[in-house]
Amino acid sequence: MFKVILFSVCLCFCLVTYDRASIAQVPTVVLMQNIREHANFIGGYGSYDQLSSGRVNFGSHSDVVSEHAQKCMEAIDKALAAGMSDSKTIEVQFRDQDSYGEVSKTVSLAELRSLCERIGGAAGKEDSLRKARQAADNAYGWSEKISQGENISGTYAEVAAGLANECISSIDKALKSGNAISTIIEWSGNSGKVKMTLSEAREMCVYVRDSATKQVKNDVAAEEALYEPFRKLLSGDKLYVYNDRLKSYKLYGAGGRVLRSPEDYRDSPLWCTTGVNREGIVPVWSVDCWHFKGMTMIGSVESRTGTGDQAPSSAFR
C-alpha cells in the first residue's frame, strides 16, 4: 500500500514538473523585438548622445515618450528575468543630429535600460510641467474674476474650485517629478502673456480654491436657509420625501394649484410635479403625484402622461 502511495506521489510530481517544463519560454527574438520597438520610438527624438545628455525637449510628446521609456525598461527587465545577460547588445535606430535621418547604434541592455530610465525621468518631468502650466492657465482666469469682485456663485464656484484643486495637484506632481519650485511657466492669457514661478502659480491656485470653496459653502448655506421654514412644519413621510426628492421642485396640489408657502406644503394632502418631454414628434406631458394623510404617505407614487405642452388640471389628483 505504501509503495502504491509513493508511486502516485512521484507520478504527480513528475506530471507537474513536465507540465511546467512544457510551457514554452518566450523566444529571445521576441523579447529583443519588444525592447527594440520602444527603444526605436525613443531614438526618433534624438541621437544617443543627445538623449543621454538630456539635450532634448519632447514638448507635447513628453507623455508618450515617458510611456515608451517605461515600457522599454519593463521589456528589458522581462528579458533579464528570462535569463538574458545585461551585456547582450541590441541595435537601436537613433536620429542623426546632423542629417535628421536615422543612424544605427549598438548598445548593451544595461546601457539601454539606463538610457530609458533617464529619458523616462526627463520626459516625465517635462510632461508634469506641461500639465502644471495648463492647469495654472485654467485657474488663472478665475483668479482675475475673483480679485475684481465678479460674482462666481452657483455652478461657477464649483467649477473654479475644481480647476483650482486640479492646478494645485498638478503643480505638486511637477515638483515631485524634479521641477524646482522656482521654475518659470508662462502662457498667453486674455490680458496678454502671463509669467510666474511654480511657487507663485500654486499660491494663485490656493487663492482661487479657498475663495471658490468659501462661495460654495455660502451658496449651500443660503439654499438651506430657504428650505428651513418648510422643514420646521413638516415631519414623517412628508419631511422625508421633501428632503429626498422634492425640495428643489415646484410642487402642485389638487387641480394643479401651485403650492407656495410652508403652510401650503403642510396642509395639502396632494403633492405633484410635472414636466414636458419635447424630444418626440409631439410633446408629452407627465405628472407624478404623492398622496398623504397628515404627514403619512398613502400608497405609492402615481404617474400620468398625455400629449400636449401642458398637463390639464384633471391630471393633478
pLDDT (tens digit per residue) in 162-177: 999 999 999 999 999 9
Do 224 and 281 have their domain in common? Answer: no
Tell me if the pTM is above 0.75: no
Task: Please tell me the distance from the alpha carbon of residue 114 to that of residue 49, in angstroms, as a whole number.
Answer: 13
Mean pLDDT, to the nearest integer, of 50-76? 90
For residue 186, what are the domain limits?
128-228
Confidence band, pLDDT 50/70/90 cuts, at residue 5: very low
Do 289 and 207 have their domain in common? Answer: no
pLDDT, tens digit, for every residue of 172-207? Answer: 999 999 999 999 999 987 778 999 999 999 999 999
Mean pLDDT, to the nearest integer, of 71-91? 94
Task: Please tell me the distance from the alpha carbon of residue 119 to that of residue 38, in angstroms, as a whole number.
Answer: 12
Give the pLDDT of residue 192: 81
Give the pLDDT of residue 282: 94
Contact indicator for 164, 205 with CB cutoff of 8 Å = yes
Residues 6+ apart with CB under 8 A from 137: 187, 189, 194
In a domain, 119, yes or no: yes
Give the pLDDT of residue 24: 60
Query: How is residue 40 written as a grid cell?
Result: 526605436
Do 47 and 82 have their domain in common? Answer: yes
In a domain, 8, yes or no: no
Which domain-ending residue is among 123, 152, 169?
123
pLDDT, tens digit, for every residue of 137-160? Answer: 999 999 999 999 999 988 999 999
Confidence band, pLDDT 50/70/90 cuts, at residue 298: very high
In a domain, 287, yes or no: yes
In whole numbers, what is the pLDDT of the chain averaged over residues? 89
Q: What total number of domains does the chain contain? A: 3
Mean pLDDT, to the nearest integer, of 62-86? 93
CB count in 10 Å sphere of residue 224: 11
Residues 6+ apart with CB under 8 A from 42: 51, 65, 68, 69, 72, 115, 116, 119
